[in-house]
Amino acid sequence: MKSKLIKLWDKFKGLLKQGLTPKQLAISLVVSSLVSIFPIFGISTIILTCIALPFRLNLPIMIAFSYVAEPLKLIVIIPFINIGARVFGTEHTLLTFEAIKTSYNIDFWNTARELSFELLCGTIGWALTAIPLGIVLYFILKGILTYFDKLKTNRLLTK
């Protein structure tokens, strides 16, 4: 059982890396996490594809990581809207997350029209918090991934 888990983990690590440098892998993970918490539902995969292809990033790992991180959107959407509302100096008309979810399930475009100001506030709140957080996260991930890459290289050289 343990050897099967080790083999599965090795396959996963190979998929994760796929010839990418630690810098490219860190960018892939940070971009997918930032896009996955973007406060507009249903556009993550399209945005990730549009970013990953021209920059030759690891699209499968970005989409997989985005799906794993997607529940974070449920946690941060209301705080993002509150931050954006403070920037504009207004109160938002949003009731609860359940109201947003129900409205999206009934009619996406009508919800987008009715909640467009809240979506704008959420986008501003996202930009003010997620982008600086993404920059910090990038440097942390790049350092960690570079360390493990050097550790792996040293282990291969000593064998």
CB neighbour list of residue 107: distance below 8 Å, 6 or more residues apart: none
**Integer CA distances (angstroms), 148 to 8, 21, 70, 98, 156, in order:** 19, 11, 27, 42, 12
Q: Is the pLDDT of residue 8 over 80?
A: no
Q: Is 6 exposed, middle or buried (0-12, 13-18, 19+ CB in 10 A)?
A: exposed
Count the Cβ atoms, other than its own, within 10 Å of residue 82.
Answer: 16
Quote the pLDDT of residue 113.
75
Mean pLDDT of the region 62-66? 87
* 84, pLDDT greater than 80: yes
Burial 43-61, CB ≥16 within 10 A → b, else e = ebeebbeebbeeeebbbeb
Question: Which pair of structure tokens corresponds to residue 34?
Answer: 């930032």
Give per-residue pLDDT as tens, 98-155: 777 777 777 777 777 777 888 888 899 999 998 899 999 999 988 888 887 777 666 6
Angle between helices 22-36 and 71-88 (to 10 degrees): 70
**How many other CB atoms are there within 10 angstroms of residue 121's CB atom?**
24
pLDDT value, residue 44: 87
Average the pLDDT over each of 7-16, 40-49, 67-76, 90-99 and give the range with the smallest value. Answer: 7-16
What average pLDDT is seen over the chain? 80
